[in-house]
Structure 1
Amino acid sequence: MNKTNEGKAAIFDLDGTLLDSMDVWHQVDVDFFHSRDIPLTDDYMGVVNAMRPEEVARYTIERYGLNDTPAELAKLWDSMVLEAYGTTVEAKPHAVEYLNYLKLSGARLAVATSLSPQVREVGMEHVGIREFFDVVVSVEDTDAKSKHSPKVYLAAASRLGVAAKDCTVFEDLLVAVKAAKSAGMHVWAMEDNYSLEDRPAIATIADGVINDFADAPQVL
């Protein structure tokens, strides 16, 4: 067994990084906005991408003057995506194989996500990756409002018992790449179609960029 990653940790985002799932959220937005007869503007996804669900709900309510409470809206969206995460969402190319390699190499593994506990668990179980992770942390487990803050990555490192400098984060969003780098962590960016306009900035900040986990680093 390869032991070169002993004492190291990898922290993974789910949406757009391990899971090819961003289309699900776009379709939920399309269906929801259509049901409320509200135009879905181009800038909306860019604003809410790194927020946790209840923060997205609060922002949406304030922006469009809705009568729902944040909890009600977040619950509605959860119900809309839950079936898709349990039936149609797939892992990014070679994600399962890479997680298995890291686990066998002695690395500690964590998830750092903005997804609600129910959705994240259903998605991970569906694609067969839940068993690889020692720790799963959500933004809502911290006092941060989104991945603009590095707190979720620092919480994951703390729970793993690994120093920030020995952690490698895998993310797809520019704000998340910036946050993880600000915590003193190594960062590899996963290319995703929903981050196309940020590719130049991401490539400048991240330690590396991949579009397939077959090209991910073998030593963290």
Structure 2
Amino acid sequence: MLENIKAVIFDLDGTLVDSMWMWKSIDMEYLAAKKVSIPEDLEAFQDELEGMGFTETAKFFKERFQIEDSLEEIKETWLLMSREKYCHEVPLKPGALEFLKELKKRKISVGISSSNSRELIAEVLKAHNIEAYFDCITTCCEVPKSKPAPDVYLKTAQGLGAAPEDCLVFEDVPMGILAGKRAGMKVCAIEDAYSKKQERQKRELADWYVQDYLEVLENEAQKGACV
């Protein structure tokens, strides 16, 4: 998988950290606090949000639920609601730290392309003491179009100084996988409970599908042993 790869780019939520459950909880708490009826089919509602950037999601909420707060106020509320959970309740995906160490050992550049806010990304990396492993971070708020458009991945690759064809993307949802593929990159889909119902689609879209990063490391170790 890592053969001829010069840069690895991660999505954040559901890919690098196990956090998708948290956002579903925050959506429910936020709407309840605003005395807004929670969508009957919450799963379908969450699917609508897939791939949207942080500001784009705030705009969607404001228009869909006629929320009086400004976009900045909505985002600030979400930041406050999520900060504690991110720092104390959201773990790294199994094997993520070990995989980051392996990439550093191989001198492979590492980036993040996320729909989340830059502030929260920074806090997550700091909470897990992994800031030093990342050479470039890009959010969907910083590019013209969010996922499944390739913009955020292309911008990160540019920041890493790598050609798209030399990049490997790790993603957990179809919209993100599509973004990576449309950028001309190889994509590995990672297992996540939140997107379990989309497993078949993820397998069809991605070049590889893994349970976690321990599986990636094991496969790479086996390849090395066979050389």
Normalising to structure 1: TM-score of the pair?
Answer: 0.92
Match of 2:56 in 1: 55
| Native 8 Å contact 1:22 1:194 kept in 2 | yes
Cα-Cα RMSD: 1.6
Distance 1:151 1:16, change over 3 A: same
Q: How far did residue 38 of structure 1 move? A: 2.2
**SS in structure 2 opposite 1:19?**
coil
2-structure distance, mates of 1:88, 1:76: 18
1-structure distance, mates of 2:45, 2:78: 16
Aligned residues: 215
Match of 1:89 in 2: 90
Structure 2: gaps of 5 or more residues: none
**SS in structure 1 opposite 2:138?**
strand
Query: Match for 1:56: what amino acid?
Result: T
**SS in structure 1 opposite 2:22?**
helix
Q: How far did residue 57 of structure 1 move? A: 1.1
| Native 8 Å contact 1:55 1:70 kept in 2 | no
2-structure distance, mates of 1:33, 1:116: 20
| Native 8 Å contact 2:5 2:168 kept in 1 | no
Match of 1:122 in 2: 123
2-structure distance, mates of 1:171, 1:6: 20
Q: How far did residue 68 of structure 1 move? A: 1.6
1:79 aligns with 2:80: yes
1:191 aligns with 2:191: yes
How do 1:99-110 and structure 2 match up within 5 A? 99-110=100-111
Match of 1:173 in 2: 173
1-structure distance, mates of 2:69, 2:194: 27
Query: Match for 2:15: what amino acid?
Result: T
Query: Match for 1:133: what amino acid?
Result: F
Normalising to structure 2: TM-score of the pair?
Answer: 0.90
Distance 1:46 1:66, change over 3 A: same
1-structure distance, mates of 2:199, 2:148: 17
**SS in structure 2 opposite 1:20?**
coil
Distance 1:174 1:86, change over 3 A: same
| Native 8 Å contact 2:55 2:141 kept in 1 | no
1:162 aligns with 2:171: no
Identity of aligned residues (%): 32
1:17 aligns with 2:15: yes
**SS in structure 1 opposite 2:68?**
coil
| Native 8 Å contact 1:7 1:106 kept in 2 | no
2-structure distance, mates of 1:211, 1:6: 23
| Native 8 Å contact 2:115 2:141 kept in 1 | yes
| Native 8 Å contact 2:95 2:213 kept in 1 | yes
